[in-house]
């Protein structure tokens, strides 16, 4: 996807009937529907059923089955609660009548209250970093590997890793990962669209972070990776045309599951969103 409108078209759903919507799939190179796509499309479905003065503040989703790239996805929204300040929705994503994902999302009116946050980590600014693709070019990465990596992410979103990017599987690293990202095009959209775009991007890097201390071990046998669940909290407004820092770490991995969490800051150090995810890391012995 070279243009931001292509990404917006992907995550924007067609209304089929009351509280029922349909979306189509980005054709991934790994043969299953991308989790960030289902997350963003589910949020889009929920947004189509809430008042225009409410904005998402949190969502919690579970990936139940791998999605089939060749089939459209139906999204059914349950109207759980319409309160004075909060609005709650449940979304189920289905293919051939089977649930592949479900999500609860909460929306809130803008309100005044107490305010604090942790400080942003002190990392190298994005202007002094190479993009992920530029790093691979400097490393003379095999063209087939380079092309496969390039197809994973939308081209319109630029990613600049803080750490040196390596695709080698035999070198362990600390369970930390950080990158700057932004849209290459202007994003003059409302808060709802900004949040849906961030939901899509938020699935990049969390599961990988949990694998970093175990790369050598995992390279010894085929390993199956997939997201199990994903949580996203929106703290403050932001714009994707500005640089955002995604700071991730993985406090734990056990029982074939890796747990990761992330903090997303804007260029001024304001914490705009937080994430958490567990993913399956299953060695196929």
Q: Which of 209, 160, 153 is nearest to 7 (CA)?
A: 153
Q: Let me know: does 203 contact 36? Beta carbons within 8 Å.
A: yes
Q: Which of 254, 256, 261 is nearest to 175 (CA)?
A: 261
Integer Cα distance of 58 and 35 in angstroms: 17
Among 183, 202, 227, 260, the one annotated catalytic: 227
Residue 203: active-site member: yes
Integer Cα distance of 72 and 256 in angstroms: 30
Q: Let me know: does 84 contact 123? Beta carbons within 8 Å.
A: no
Among 104, 177, 194, 203, the one annotated catalytic: 203
Crossing angle of helices 35-47 and 191-201, rounded to 10° = 160
Instruction: Phi first, then psi: give them for residue 54, nearest 5 degrees.
Output: -110, 140
Residue 108: active-site member: no
Q: Let me know: does 101 contact 38? Beta carbons within 8 Å.
A: yes
Among 42, 135, 263, 277, the one annotated catalytic: 277
Residue 227: active-site member: yes
- Looking at the annotation, which residues are catalytic? 203, 227, 277
């Amino acid at each position: 996807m070279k243009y931001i409108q292509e990404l917006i078209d992907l995550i924007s759903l067609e209304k089929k009937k009351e509280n029922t919507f349909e979306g189509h799939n980005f054709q991934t190179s790994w043969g299953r529907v991308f989790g960030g796509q289902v997350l963003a499309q589910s949020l889009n479905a929920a947004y189509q059923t809430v008042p225009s003065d409410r904005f998402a503040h949190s969502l919690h989703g579970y990936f139940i089955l791998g999605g089939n790239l060749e089939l459209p996805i139906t999204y059914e929204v349950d109207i759980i609660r319409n309160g004075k300040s909060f609005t709650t929705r449940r979304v189920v994503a289905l293919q051939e009548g089977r649930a592949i994902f479900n999500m609860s999302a909460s929306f809130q009116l803008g309100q005044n209250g107490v305010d604090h946050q942790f400080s942003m980590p002190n990392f190298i600014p994005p202007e002094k970093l190479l993009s992920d693709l530029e790093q691979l070019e400097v490393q003379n990465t095999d063209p087939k590997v380079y092309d496969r990596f390039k197809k994973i992410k939308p081209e319109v979103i630029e990613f600049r890793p803080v750490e040196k990017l390596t695709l080698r599987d035999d070198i362990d690293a600390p369970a930390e990962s950080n990158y700057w990202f932004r849209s290459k095009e202007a994003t003059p959209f409302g808060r709802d669209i900004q949040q849906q775009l961030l939901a899509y991007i938020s699935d990049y890097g969390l599961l990988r972070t949990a694998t970093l201390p175990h790369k050598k071990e995992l390279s010894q046998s085929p390993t199956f990776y997939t997201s199990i669940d994903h949580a996203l909290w929106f703290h403050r407004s932001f714009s994707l045309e500005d640089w955002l820092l995604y700071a991730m770490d993985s406090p734990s991995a056990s029982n074939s599951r890796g747990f990761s969490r992330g903090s997303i800051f804007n260029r001024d150090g304001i914490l705009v969103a937080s994430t958490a995810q567990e993913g399956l890391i299953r060695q196929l012995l």
